[in-house]
Structure 1
Amino acid sequence: MSEVDKLIKNIYNKLECSKYIIDHSTTVYERTKDITPHYDNIDLDLIKAGAMLHDVGRTVTNDIKHAYLGADLLRQLNVDEKICKITERHIGAGISAKEAQKLRLPPRNYIPQTLEEKIVAHADNLVHGTEPVDLDFVINKWTKKGMATESIDRLIKLHNELIK
């Protein structure tokens, strides 16, 4: 078993992650494989760890706070900060400072910065539950939820940046 797989298994056990979290995260990881072949010089182990651990905060809450709470849980377990950042920044195509304030999130940078952060965030966008979906599905879902145009524009921009 690789070091990354040991880390993931250890975190899942310590945080008592549900089968659903694991299954969803596995689908997200599989979805990253649709994006990563287009890039050289990316950290595939980081992407795997980030994809598999991005939703550990759902062991605490299922609302939008699960991202930063999950990152904080990982920090408490001394997980590499790069993985923590993927977890913290995986919501949609990121959350602007203005949106974060409106959502009453702690002041942090919730916009994916690195290529690995962007890949995991967008792979998560392209999964509904445990099923892969396309961009149109996501746009329709977000529109029905009343998501801000700014968020949908960021989603489309991220998609166009990553999907070549």
Structure 2
Amino acid sequence: MREEDCIALLRRAGCSEGVIAHCRAVRDLALTYASDGLVDRDLVAAGALLHDIGRGATHEIRHAEVGGALCRSFGLDEAIVAIVERHIGGGLTADECSLLGLLPRDCMPQTLEEKIVAHADNLVKGTRVIVMEERMMHAIALPRRQRKRICRLGLEMELFR
């Protein structure tokens, strides 16, 4: 998917220019992790650009679920939908989703592309790239298992940089 097409979908979904700028910054960082031949760079770029498409409707945690539904309604590939739905922190289990009032389904990033986008999003605050230590300071209120998951994802993804 071309960048222009992704940006048009973000605008169609009601995303602000700030959200679009964040998505571009996440895309730029994500591509630095996508140099390995095993990674689909086009999928990483499109998924990163669209990861927050649900923020056109809500800025709550359910933006990932809303974004996935939007992507499906736009007829996008399920690989992009999965990136959008699984980009929260280090991922959410079905039980965690249920406890948060989301559909009870596994939203753990599984593919390299999903993991790269989730990790890049963890390291972009607004449009500013932050270090893992700062990310963990922002995550201090999260349950311990979710903080550990964010750390493990970061360690795994740093191998691709």
**Which TM-score band applies after superposition, normalised by the shorter structure?**
over 0.9
Write the letter of the residue equivalent to 2:105: R
Residue segments in structure 2 that go unaligned for 5+ positions in a row = none
| 1:79 is aligned to 2:98 | no
In 2, the alpha carbon distance for the partners of 1:140 and 1:40 equals 33
Write the letter of the residue equivalent to 1:28: V
In 2, the alpha carbon distance for the partners of 1:137 and 1:78 equals 37
Q: Deviations over 1:73-119 (max 9, x none)?
A: 11001011110110000000101222111101102221001000000
| 1:41 is aligned to 2:38 | yes
Residue segments in structure 1 that go unaligned for 5+ positions in a row = none
Partner secondary structure for residue 139 of structure 2 = helix
| Alignment RMSD | 1.2
The match for 1:161 among 147, 151, 156 is: 156
Write the letter of the residue equivalent to 1:56: I
Deviation at 1:56, TM superposition (A): 0.7
Which residue does 2:117 correspond to in 1? 120
Any residues of structure 2 matched to 1:13-162 within 5 Å, and which?
Answer: 13-37=11-35, 39-143=36-140, 146-162=141-157
TM-score by length of 1: 0.92
Which residue does 2:6 correspond to in 1? 8
Number of equivalent positions: 159
Deviation at 1:28, TM superposition (A): 0.4
In 1, the alpha carbon distance for the partners of 2:101 and 2:33 equals 32
Partner secondary structure for residue 32 of structure 2 = coil
Deviation at 1:30, TM superposition (A): 1.1
In 2, the alpha carbon distance for the partners of 1:110 and 1:132 equals 24
In 2, the alpha carbon distance for the partners of 1:4 and 1:132 equals 24
Write the letter of the residue equivalent to 1:116: E
Q: Which runs of 4+ in 1 moved over 4 A?
A: none
In 2, the alpha carbon distance for the partners of 1:12 and 1:160 equals 30
